[in-house]
Amino acid sequence: MTTPAYVQIIGLPDMPEVRQGDDLAEIILAAAATTPVESGDILVVTQKIVSKSEGRLVDLATVEPSALAREFAGRWGKDPRQVEVVLRESRRIVRMERGILICETRHGFICANAGVDASNVPGADVVCLLPVDPDASAQRLHDALAQRLGFPVPVIISDSFGRPWRNGITNIAIGVAGMAPLADYRGQLDTEGREMHVTVLAVADELAAAAELVHGKLRRCPVALIRGYPWEAAPGRAAELVMDPERNLFR
């Protein structure tokens, strides 16, 4: 009889509010005091605390909205300054309808409002932007943790994105370091001994979704350890999850 396969998702408690310049590795290891990080663990961190530590906050009082931002905001009852920030964070507008702005960010992510978000941000008129380079942010955290722990811990930075055709948002990986974000089973055999086709799993996105089960949206639990998942060490990046526009049937 085979033993069951176990994967544990551990939400770290008592995370303080993160501020610009904070040492995220130190804060995370302090929160992990009761459940120390083990070799083999994966760390999943929500985008917001990474952005806050990097000072990616914009005070809307400093923003002068363009005519386009004023027009769209006026029509749909939005803050024109926030719309302006969204436009500045975009390299392409994918859809701009019924008060919804779906944007392609400079990273190539396609999401609502270019990832600009006011929830869980201190200050009445402050919005939070995505990190400039979430893969680089993940790599810095990965390196800082390896230095303190003496072993490598893959890092995933997650954010919640909507999807076409399906209701509700789910967490996906916007930054990755220390592991392959895709598991490529092409050329391997299935349980019937036949070669498998087109089976590339977006494991970093699945790990981000799994971590959301402990993050919650209201509890202050932005950091999760995933224990028991056999990851593949690799110089992976979340950029590998962004589909080449040439291959993209929905561009």
Toward its own copies, which CB reaches closer, 143 or 220?
Answer: 220
CB atoms inside a 10 Å sphere around CB 71: 13
Task: Identify the residue whose tokens are 């055709």.
Answer: 165
Output the smallest distance, CB 152 to its own copies, in A: 19
Please check whether residue 69 is in contact with residue 83, taking contact to mean a CB–CB distance below 8 angstroms. yes
Toward its own copies, which CB reaches closer, 150 or 164?
Answer: 164
CA 38-40-42 angle, to 5 degrees, is 90
CB-side exposure of 204: number of CA atoms within 13 Å?
Answer: 30
What's at 29, amino acid-wise? L
What are the CB-based long-range contacts (under 8 Å, 24+) for 24-30?
24/49, 24/50, 24/53, 24/141, 24/144, 25/141, 25/144, 25/145, 25/148, 26/148, 28/141, 28/145, 28/223, 29/145, 29/148, 29/149
Toward its own copies, which CB reaches closer, 147 or 188?
Answer: 188
Question: CA–CA separation, 114 vs 120, rounded Å?
Answer: 17
Question: CA–CA separation, 111 vs 162, rounded Å?
Answer: 7
Q: Provide Rg for the chain, Cα atoms.
A: 19
Toward its own copies, which CB reaches closer, 127 or 138?
Answer: 127
Toward its own copies, which CB reaches closer, 140 or 179?
Answer: 179
Toward its own copies, which CB reaches closer, 5 or 67?
Answer: 5
What's at 71, amino acid-wise? E
Toward its own copies, which CB reaches closer, 143 or 162?
Answer: 162
Output the smallest distance, CB 242 to its own copies, in A: 7
Q: How far is Cα of residue 62 from the mean position of the Cα atoms in its chain?
A: 27
